[in-house]
Amino acid sequence: MQNQIEQQDWLHMVDSIGNFLAPSMAKDHPNLPVVKAEGCYYYGVDGKRYLDFTSGIAVENVGHRHPKVVQAIKDSADHLIHGPSGVIIYESILKLAAELQKILPPKLDNFFFANSGTEAIEGALKLAKYVTKRPYVVSFTGCFHGRSIGALSVTTSKSKYRKYLQPSWLTYQLPYALPEYLPEGADPDVYFAEKLERDAQKLFNHQVDPEEVACMIIEPILGEGGYFIPPASWLKKIREICDRHGILLIFDEVQTGFGRTGSWFAAQTFDVKPDIMAIAKGIAAGLPLSATVASKELMDQWPLGSHGTTFGGNPMACSAALASLEVIHEEKLLDNTKEMGAYAIARLLEMKEEFPIIRDVRGVGLMIGIELGDPKTGEPSGKTVMDVLDECLENGVLFYLCGNSGEVIRMIPPLTINKEQIDTGLDVLRAALQKYSN
């Protein structure tokens, strides 16, 4: 623990944070000064404990600093901190691949380990282009896949990410299955699949021949774009269109993976199997690790030298990932996610009846979005969300936000969360909603 003087120095640095950190790094909401994290809590420099309903943005699925994870990191640090894989080989990376094979859909069994979600996406796009020898990629409007130039070429969640950076690498977009496109009274299961068939046909007729499309990439649940859950029939239709034209399907499961939806992956939640998957965030309980995953048949067509990494598949991160998987199994966190998610959504739906500023509640497992509107106009409102989040923070609960204008509260607690903690968090949210309802 820091002594008093060091702590003051540090807080002084926080006050002049712009002298140290780029604004694009330092200014996300709420930039809470923290000294420690444990389980479902952050501990602030102000001495307060904060219930964490963000999981460090869907990373700490087994809770912060789970003792098993901490021990695994220490054990690894005692004998091996860095690879690089390829120059040397070590047990944790092979064991992790073997364990991941058991929880991923069949034939998604070969791994290129990297460090971040963005890198896993880059790998997926490169693999698809290399293997098919086709130049173009189709993504879905509103999806977020990362901020590097390659990942940005398929990211369309917010135009600000692309400002002055429009990718020179041409990609095409199809619309996501959003409720705003659904005509009144139409059945989403039928409507969106039929609409997709029409949209894809238009794209292939007018803009790009499907024989030139390497892959389609999608977030199986729209994350940063506002936590929208598409019908399974729509995702199955994407699979069908890809199969028809020899196009590879990539699922970006960076946010939906490792139990977040109550299954290991959203591919299982929706029963749709992609050809390539990008996984990251929840994989290693906070250490930087990610993977591009595909079948051995596909990976075998990606020869030595066509992709590489210095840090990817770091031994300590692989050890943390192995411990984290063990915790998810042992503590039956998939079951807990389904149970706690259903409980939270039921409570939130009750609140929706009570507070008209809640426009919508949607979620699968513990990936829950609460869309808020302006108390006067009812229109989606980022300002109302910010007011409510600040009030919650003041009362010890940290939520995150998403949606094109920040109009959705993201509730993504660790999968270890219990009923009492959900109640505590939602009671605080309820009081904040009451305060900002008029």
**Residue 146 binds ligand PLP, judged by CB under 6 A:** yes
Strand 248-252 relative to strand 276-279, pairing? parallel
Among residue numbers 41 through 100, which ones bind ligand PLP (CB under 6 A)? none
Helix or strand or coil: residue 168? coil
Q: Is 364 an interacting residue with respect to ligand PLP (CB under 6 A)?
A: no
From residue 410, alpha-carbon distances to 19, 185, 225, 228, 337 in Å are 30, 28, 11, 11, 15
Stretch that binds ligand PLP, among 26-34, 143-151, 201-209, 400-408 (CB under 6 A): 143-151
Please provide the DSSP assignment of 294-357 as one string: E-HHHHTTS-TTSS--SSTT-HHHHHHHHHHHHHHHHTTHHHHHHHHHHHHHHHHHHHHHH-TT
- When asked if residue 122 is in the footprint of ligand PLP (CB under 6 A), the reply is no
**Toward ligand PLP, which CB reaches closer, 123 or 146?**
146
Q: How many residues does the chain have?
A: 438
Out of 109, 252, 360, 407, which residue is the one contacting ligand PLP (CB under 6 A)?
Answer: 252
Give backbone dihedrals phi and psi of 330, rounded to 5 degrees, phi first: -60, -40
Task: Select the residue interacting with ligand PLP from 76, 118, 156, 324 (CB under 6 A).
Answer: 118
Taking the C-alpha atoms of residue 9 and residue 21, their distance in angstroms, rounded to an integer, is 16
Q: Which of 76, 132, 233, 255 binds ligand PLP (CB under 6 A)?
A: 255
Q: What are phi and psi of 154, to 5 degrees?
A: -115, -5
**Least distance in Å: CB of 412 to ligand PLP?**
11
Task: Name the residue with the smallest CB distance to ligand PLP.
Answer: 117
Question: Of these, 63, 142, 220, 223, which contacts ligand PLP (CB under 6 A)?
Answer: 223
- The residue (of 223 and 286) whose beta carbon lies closer to ligand PLP is 223
Between 280 and 357, name the residue whose CB sits nearer to ligand PLP.
280
Our CB check for ligand PLP shows the closer of 64 and 347 to be 64
According to the binding rule CB under 6 A, does residue 145 interact with ligand PLP? Answer: yes
Q: Closer to ligand PLP at the Cβ: 254 or 325?
A: 254
Strand partners, 173: 139
The answer to the question of residue 156 lying near ligand PLP (CB under 6 A) is: no
116 binds ligand PLP (CB under 6 A): yes
156's enclosing H/E stretch is none
Q: How many Å separate Cα 96 from the centre of its chain?
A: 21
Choose among 39, 81, 77, 71: nearest CA to 56. Answer: 39
219 binds ligand PLP (CB under 6 A): yes
State the number of binding residues for ligand PLP (CB under 6 A): 14
Measured CA angle at 114 (ends 39, 124), to 5 deg: 115
Residues interacting with ligand PLP, by CB under 6 A? Answer: 116-118, 121, 144-146, 219, 223-224, 252, 254-255, 280
